Structure formats: structure tokens, C-alpha cells
Amino acid sequence: MYNQYTYNSISSINHHMEDLGNRVIDINNIFTTGYRGKQVSFHETINGIKAVERRDFRPGAAAKTNRPLDFAIEGQGFFEVELPDGTRAYTRNGSFTIGPNGELLSAQGYPLITSHPNNDHISQDYDNIVDGVHSFDAGAASSTIIIPVGTTVHMESDGTLKTDDGNVLGSLNVVSFTNNEGLQDVGQGLFIATEQAGDIHELEVGGMLGQTQVRQGHIEQANVSIVDKMADIVQLNTAIKAEMKIIKVLDQMQENLNSSISRNI
């Protein structure tokens, strides 16, 4: 019996330590543009306690930068980029740059995808495999925005990018998924969509109440509250200390029981 209680306490400590590590990672990324915090919940199963980790996809606050190539999504959705192998990836980091050929690049250095010809539902095509996971490819033709040298970019409320003289360069592509939990984190603030992400939709960007908006000259801050994370760390440390005390008491009880048995033999 004591061994089972001890095992449960050790298992609980391990889960708390894992959760503590996630809190530290979140705090380290509090100044990372568009960072999505982690949430961990624990569930009892017949095989013990199971930790379930998920990303927190709630939007972060928009911070003003006045940089013309900084864009923050307010509401749901992701910017769409194309990785070197042709896979589509999705990010909330809208700090863009201009490549050597004038192409608009994501913060990670990948070409940004402009809006597709229509905003209807895009058919699914799971024909790419990344690390054993079927990644999502919208199946639509790629189109990147080219910024002429010396051009200042202006954005309309609907996400359309124009030059100083009004020439249309393209529109920022903002997409959403039925289930964000089906997005796989591949690092650098990038996600790829697995089949579990469900349908993909292009969002209509605009200024009306309830619509997703894109704000130029802003970046989205991490959706992490350092106050909440520090409170979580204090709570987890308290829980770990409590479990360690339980283990110490169980060890003492086991030692007393062994001594009692030895005296009676």
C-alpha cells in the first residue's frame, strides 16, 4: 500500500515539474511576437495521472510599433506562409520583412501567401507528410507579394496592400481552422495543420464589429500574463513540497513498520 501511495506522489511530482517547465518556457517567451502560451491539465486514468498539453490560442494584445511592415491580427486567424518544401504553415507573428527579390517574407524568412481568388471554403488535400504527420495543403496556387524598391506600403481596412500611388500589391491572407487543437507546433511560432484541425477557411478582414481585423504598424504580443504564470509557479512549488512531505511520511511509516516486524520475529 505504501509503495502505491509513494508511486502516486512521485508521479504527481513529475507532472508538476513538467508543468513548471512549461510555465518557465512561457515566461521566457513573454516578449516573443505572437507567442501562444501552453496549458497543461491532468486527468486520472486507470494507468495513473495523464498530463494533457495544449496551446492557448487566445489572442494577445496589439502593441504599436509604427513600422509599416508590422501587422497584428485582432481576432481569430493566422497568416499563411510557404515553407521551403512547399508545405503551408501558419503564424500569428506579423513582423514582416522584404526579401532580396522584393518578396514579402514572414518573421521566419518564408514567403507570405496572399489571398486566394475567392474567399469560399478551400478544399482539403492531405498530401504532405511532415515527421510522420499529414500536414494540410490548401491546394490553391501560391502567390507572394512583391514590394517595389523604395515603396512605402499602405494597408486598407480589408487587408489590401497598396503603393503610394494606389497600385494594388495584393492582400494579406488570413485563415482559420475548425479546431486549433489540431495544429502542430513546429517551432519559431509556426504551426502546420493536421487532419484534426478540420476545415480551413479564408477570413474576411474588415473593420466591422465581430470581424477579424489586421492592424498595420502593430505587432501582437504574447498571450502570456507574467503575473498569472508567477502565481502558477508558486502554486506548483507548494504542491511539489506537499507531495515530498507525503513521501517522507510514507517512508517513515514504512521504516516503523519494518522495525516493528523485526522486533516481533
Of 261, 85, 117, 98, the residue nearest 190 (C-alpha): 85
Cα dihedral 240, 246, 248, 250 sign: negative
Q: Give yes or no: residues 239 and 158 share one domain.
A: no
Q: How far is CA 145 from each of CA 77, 81, 122, 131, 198, rounded to the nearest angstrom?
A: 19, 11, 20, 29, 27
Three-state SS at 32: coil
Q: Give yes or no: residues 82 and 196 share one domain.
A: yes
Q: Give yes or no: residues 230 and 115 share one domain.
A: no
Q: What is the pLDDT of residue 139?
A: 39
Task: In whole angstroms, give the CA distance from residue 10 to residue 5.
Answer: 9
Q: Give yes or no: residues 104 and 125 share one domain.
A: yes
Q: How many CB atoms lie within 10 A of CB 6?
A: 15
Q: What is the pLDDT of residue 3?
A: 66
Q: By mean pLDDT, which of 30-34, 216-220, 242-246 is the weakest?
A: 242-246
Of 181, 24, 212, 188, the residue nearest 95 (C-alpha): 188
Q: Give yes or no: residues 129 and 66 share one domain.
A: yes
Q: Give yes or no: residues 89 and 210 share one domain.
A: yes
Cell of 139: 491546394
Q: Give yes or no: residues 91 and 149 share one domain.
A: yes
Residue type, 246: I
Residue type, 9: S
Which pLDDT band, with edges at 50, 70 and 90, does 265 fall under? low
Task: In whole angstroms, give the CA distance from residue 93 to residue 188.
Answer: 9
Average pLDDT over residues 40-45: 63
Average pLDDT over residues 178-196: 92
Q: What is the pLDDT of residue 66?
A: 94
Three-state SS at 83: coil
Instruction: With both helix axes pointing from N to C terminus, report the angle between 2-28 and 226-263 in degrees, rounded to the nearest 10.
Output: 160
Residue type, 20: L
Residue range of the domain that includes 42: 2-56+225-263
Q: Give yes or no: residues 112 and 231 share one domain.
A: no
pLDDT greater than 80 at residue 41? no
- Computed over every residue of the chain, the mean pLDDT equals 78
pTM, two decimals, is 0.71
pLDDT tens for each residue of 5-21: 666 666 777 776 777 77
Phi and psi torsions of 191, nearest 5°: -130, 145
pLDDT tens for each residue of 190-242: 999 999 999 998 888 886 766 789 999 999 998 887 777 777 777 777 777 87
Q: Give yes or no: residues 91 and 117 share one domain.
A: yes
Q: Give yes or no: residues 122 and 141 share one domain.
A: yes
Who has greater pLDDT, 24 or 62? 62
Q: Give yes or no: residues 169 and 38 share one domain.
A: no
Average pLDDT over residues 65-86: 93
Average pLDDT over residues 21-33: 81
Average pLDDT over residues 83-99: 93
Domain count of the chain?
Answer: 2
Q: Give yes or no: residues 154 and 242 share one domain.
A: no
Average pLDDT over residues 153-166: 88
Q: What is the pLDDT of residue 141?
A: 43
Pair 79, 92: CB distance under 8 Å:
yes
pLDDT tens for each residue of 93-151: 999 999 998 899 999 999 998 753 333 333 333 344 344 343 444 434 446 788 888 88
Cell of 227: 503575473
Q: What is the pLDDT of residue 92?
A: 94
